[in-house]
Amino acid sequence: MKNLAGVAIMSVLVSGSTLAGGDPEFVPFPEGYKDGFSNYATVNRMNGKQLARLYANDKAVAGVRAGGETAEGAVVVMEIYKIRKDAEGNPVKDAAGLFVPEGLAAIAVMQKSGSWPEGFPAGHRAGDWGFALYTPNGEPKPNELECAGCHIPKKDQDYLFTWSQLKAYVQSR
């Protein structure tokens, strides 16, 4: 009976943390982002296992254009793709050195707000950025990664791993 109780407690703890890296109740899926946002970069993810296509809304672009950080209400979307591998299991790259995508695996969303609701834990944010992970269909996706923890060291880059790409995109327009 003790083991059964322990399993039940662990199940609750684990299931409660499956969205630990994202808060879809606070960071909604941005319907129509492909039509309304700027595709500012396509990069190989640092994990060496995925390709990412990044999109920024007008508020993100406008803040950078004004010479500062992204503005209040900025939204950045990262489409995360599975990649093609060769017979030895190595990533296949195109002529530009980018991984060849095999299919959309997930969509990560970052949203910037200086006035998050009281119920949104500060530990789930990096600066004013909140996070959520979605399936390719826009449904919340379980995520065991701590998004905020990885972005916090990027404070000097407005918490974005692709800050230099976003700035270069804005400067080129």
Q: CATH no. for residue 43?
A: 3.50.70.20
pLDDT (tens digit per residue) in 51-63:
999 999 999 999 9
Residue 119 has which token pair? Answer: 């119920």
Q: How far apart are CA 131 and CA 143, in angstroms?
A: 11
State which amino acid sits at residue 53: R
The full 3-state SS of 124-167, as one line of letters, equals: HCECCEEEEEECCCCCECCCCCCHHHHHHHHHHHCCCCCHHHHH
Structural domain includes residue 83: yes
Q: How many domains does the chain have?
A: 1
Structural domain includes residue 15: no
Between strands 50-56 and 38-44, the pairing is: antiparallel
pLDDT (tens digit per residue) in 127-142:
999 999 999 999 999 8
pLDDT bin (cut points 50, 70, 90) of residue 9 is very low
pLDDT bin (cut points 50, 70, 90) of residue 21 is low
Question: Is pLDDT above 80 for 3?
Answer: no
